[in-house]
A and B are shown apart, each in its own frame.
Chain A
Amino acid sequence: MSTTRAAPTPPAHRSAPRRAGGSGADERRLNWRNRLYRFDMRYMPYLMIAPFFLLFAVFGLFPLLFNAVVSLRNYRLDDPTLPYWAGFANFTKLFGDEYFWNALYNTFGIFLLSSVPQLLLALVVASLLNRKLRAQTWWRVGVLLPYITPIVASTMVFSVFFSREFGMANWVLGLLGIGGPDDPIDWRADKLHSWIAIATMVNWKWIGYNALLYLAAMQSIPRDVYEAAAIDGAGPWKQLWRITVPMIQPVVVFTVILSTIGGLQLFTEPMLFDQNAQNATGGPNREWQTIAQLIYKVGWKDLNLGYAAAMSWALFLIILIVAGINFWATNRLSGGRR
């Protein structure tokens, strides 16, 4: 930001009387330019940032705050006769709601099964990409294929992969001697298997993206650090864990936070993995219903917007807490000794 802004046309004419002779038109023109200039310098910056702040205030910030009001209200789309305020009824209801705890459990289960392998594999892919490669750009663009693919589209494919009878997942596992055609795994029958199926979709989508984030950080590690390590006799694997990971620690923390925020709001995958997606129950017995999905069901299937708003607040708090814990933990773990 520059502090040496010169004022090109000093406002010399400002104090001059308006009609001071024959050159009135000239005078007025100068005056007008002057005002324009002052306006431009003083107010234009605000006009330039105004669209962002206005739009963000109306469609971003206000809904977030208004959500708090809605959560304290009886806001049922199917029953407008209820008393206006509900107090904390929506929140007390939340604590006793077994569906909420179930959804929380599912969300955490899927989150663990997706974020941990996702980030570890991203590290591996990044270190593969972090070599002198032929057709370097081509490989980098290639790992982004899942990132640009609509989750809706890929979930449809994975939905078929994980079908019981003719699914490719069972076929591959059968080749490895697991399950097999006589005893196929029913991926939609219990929590663990449905979680694995959904986590696979999440991993597929985000490994390449995270790998590029890691790669960017890896390439900014000073080269002499590796030279020193080579003298100490560290092999490539040891280099990765002892040098690369601690050196890219800020980005590791960043990806952990990103995947926490994203993972705890998982919606599309669990939604469309269900063969009766419209119910939004996440399986016949809510085996894989996530909180985001439950919010959708409560709000737009059961038409209880007040309760859905309370749940959104709960999810917000949970994300905040978990992101905080993860921030602290990754700082500790990936930073080595400090």
Chain B
Amino acid sequence: MTAVAPPRTPVAAARRRPGAMARAPQDSPAGVWTYVFLALTMLFAAFPLYWMFVIATSNDEALAKLPPAVIPGDRFMTNVNEVFSLQDVYFAASLVNSVIVSSVVTASVLFFCSLAGFAFAKLRFKGSNALMVFVVLTLTVPNQLGIVALYIVMGKLGWNGTLLAVIAPGLVTAFGVFYMRQFIVNTVPDELIESARVDGATTMRVYANIVLPAIRPALAVLGLLSFVATWNEFQWPLITLSGTDFPTSMVAISDLASGNYVIYRRVLAGAFLATIPLLVMLFIGGRQIVRGIMEGAVKS
């Protein structure tokens, strides 16, 4: 890091009266304009979602209204029922599929990544440094690039067109191992592990009784991030699942929007339905998601 403005001596800083200018930004109270601009940012961020809801609850006319319709209608259930009863789209099933895929992937990521993260953080074994470097290197490889070969591999396994094809590639992530390792290094004291060892605890027992309880916050963060990421995945599920009876909800939404005459109140009703679980997660776990993203930034 380059410190461009070399900090002056504290004496020089202290000589000046501690006015508003001498404070770091994070210590100075926000002015009216900050709130105004932030409110505009929020409006920009939330409006597409809100309008999605408006159209999802309205009849066909709302779509073409200018100035745009901003008051929700009362036809949400009507639109949802229409979406659910469409042949060839399997929307209700797709929501179940998405829940299955995202839950299995999340559970697996949490278990395997915390296990490996613990090993890398606290256990001594030959090659651990080299292997960890390998994990960090794979962080930067965009896995989309192997997608053609992945399709062929899944074909050999006979998994294309099944949920297995979507679940298997997500079961572990390098980011998860990296994140867990960092967290365990910083939060689980060596002494605690030592004393458990002296009492005769096996490695797995240490993991279950000491590490797992200590890393609960990190599990929440990683769990939320992987659930959201898996739920929202589109390209690979589209390739392997489209045209089957087992789409994920993202594939099903794109099915809703295909064809010559697209009925947008249906598309957006489906889109909104598939967004609800994530909105709930943000509402409940927003603090954790924010923390996870910000911690990741400082550490990387």
Contacts and interface: CB of A to CB of B under 8 A. Distances in A.
Interface of A: 1-6, 8-9, 36, 40-42, 44-46, 48-49, 51-53, 55-56, 58-67, 69-70, 75, 124-125, 127-134, 137, 139-146, 148-154, 156-161, 165-166, 168, 171, 204, 208-209, 212-232, 236, 239, 242-244, 246-247, 249-251, 254, 257, 261, 265, 267-268, 271-272, 275-278, 292, 295-296, 299-300, 305, 308-309, 312-313, 315-316, 319, 335-338
B234 A267 contact: yes
Interface of B: 1-8, 10, 12-13, 16, 19, 21-30, 34-35, 37-38, 41-42, 44-46, 48-49, 51-52, 55, 63-68, 112-113, 115-116, 118-125, 128, 131, 135, 138, 140-153, 168-169, 171-172, 174, 177, 185, 190, 193-194, 197-198, 200, 202-204, 207, 228, 231-232, 234-235, 238-239, 250, 253-254, 257-258, 262, 264, 267-268, 271-272, 274-275, 278-279, 281-282, 286-287, 289-290, 293-298, 300
A130 B26 contact: yes
B249 to A, nearest CB: 8
Contacts of B120: 49
Chain B interface mostly: helix
Contact of B297 (A69, A141, A142, A212): A212
Chain A interface mostly: helix
Contacts of B151: 299, 305
27 contacts: A2-B122, A45-B124, A45-B125, A49-B115, A55-B168, A59-B150, A62-B153, A66-B153, A128-B37, A144-B293, A145-B49, A148-B228, A153-B271, A156-B268, A159-B257, A161-B48, A171-B66, A216-B295, A218-B26, A225-B7, A228-B12, A231-B16, A242-B4, A244-B25, A305-B148, A313-B145, A338-B2
A267 B232 contact: no
Contact of B38 (A44, A129, A243): A129
Given A52-B115, A156-B267, 18 more contacts: A52-B113, A52-B177, A55-B171, A59-B171, A63-B146, A63-B147, A66-B152, A124-B37, A139-B42, A146-B48, A148-B279, A151-B234, A153-B52, A156-B257, A168-B66, A217-B298, A229-B5, A296-B235
A275 B190 CA distance: 58
Contact of B48 (A56, A157, A209, A250): A157
Given A52-B112, A221-B24, A5 B194 contact: yes
A140 B42 CA distance: 10
Contacts of A134: 30
A148 B278 contact: yes
A303 B16 CA distance: 72
A60 B143 contact: yes
A166 B290 contact: no
Given A45-B128, A139-B38, A312 B172 contact: no
